[in-house]
Structure 1
């Protein structure tokens, strides 16, 4: 049944205590499962809605294994899996995080339904990496409850990459964004607030700015894919674990950076379309690991080895920066 009032109440105070809150994750795929780890490690009561029986059946073991890896097995007891939205006790839900496929119409339909199911003060968040929360919530443009709709963008794997973006749409209330950011910090994440939902938000805009130049250099034959990867991983990218680009300028000298920029910026790629080496691979099916070929060739064995290597290095990096991360506060 629809809520009695279309106007949102204040953000639920219970969000200040993850252990007392109830969160619903809609979608139990790779991202949804890892978001569930983020929540349950802070002992947040978490319901994952996943209609696919295979994924739903595998989800508890996956969450339990990831919690065990960090010594927080107790969080597994806070997880439940539901097959449908009807199976959720919506009167107790404080936060919803949407993790369904990247199709705008699907997300709009889900949010229109969430508005009728959730309490007026429940925070409704989308993990979309490509659609602004303003577009997702546009179907409810006449509803005051758009004030509690926010983007909440995690990065894969969500339980290992600490960053999460809290993205404000054109109708989002800042107090709601602040409350959600504080909640994420208590779950051990590093939240950044993005005050306008531009395409790509904050981190992906920075990442794609780098990628545009990288793939342009490949197109022009200036560097190979392998050398581009090495330049980033073992050069300036290696330093990014210790300092972001702004702090790094203070380390290196702002005058040096300004002088170098004056020389380089006029020669940078400024294309408004993806590089040829990307668009050709996208067109002919070389989509990366999932297709067995991208910039590199992949077999089941090399995929398994690469994912193990990648996971190991992420965990090692996470251990290095652990003293700088927020403490998990159940």
Structure 2
């Protein structure tokens, strides 16, 4: 039978990688440093690979070590899913949930989503982590997060349940030639500069699609870290960009230096959903949360089929 590290050894290896220090990893795992060092060394010796480069001042994970640690996280997550299946507590939905959401969506959705859950499950604790959608999806797969809510994901091993659709509005400077209009056509954007969020954000893909459809120019030398930053850059005439519906309704006012308009002949939206690992033993918990998320999306107006009304709505911050 080929060598198989124990779950405890996997925990040791992951701790060393995350702490970057054997002593800190030992304290986190509540064992002595010699014990942890010996066990990690046994894993390396039996596998015939070096997981870490050790120096007098640091511990650096090797490339093969990165691959091994990813697999170790997935393995431990699967084991946790198995235990969760056995120890499922429907009354509290498991008692603790680590939920990831992007900052372009979560702050505007979670208040409507979380309050009914807290009223129904007062003992349930939900820890919120904000990050880029791609990072959240990876963390869910590795078991660092239990689930996520945000733009549609296409990663393997994740169950995605759609809960609603967000419109996308075009933001332009207040003194832009299109600013006085409520609607525009994609041909009006030819040659315009488009700003976008950085890599790992789904809105980057939406902006890229708009640039391709309209012959606008994406600004490649800048990738924004937040929609607020992009909004400020637009206000001083550095370009245009897309803003999702919930953010637009919460953050834009008629007096702003950025105006929102609807594109008549470009109907791209972003699907929002709730997702978790396919292998999760807490599927019943997450199905319940997905149902609550669907109700919250409906309350916020994020309906599923809005093709007929997508262009009839007055953009936020304008008077109809």
User: Which is strand-richer, 1 or 2?
Assistant: 2
TM over 0.5: no
User: Which is helix-richer, 1 or 2?
Assistant: 1
TM-score normalised over the length of structure 1: 0.27
For the pair shown, which has the larger CA radius of gyration, 1 or 2?
2
Higher relative contact order (CA 8 A, sep 6+): 2
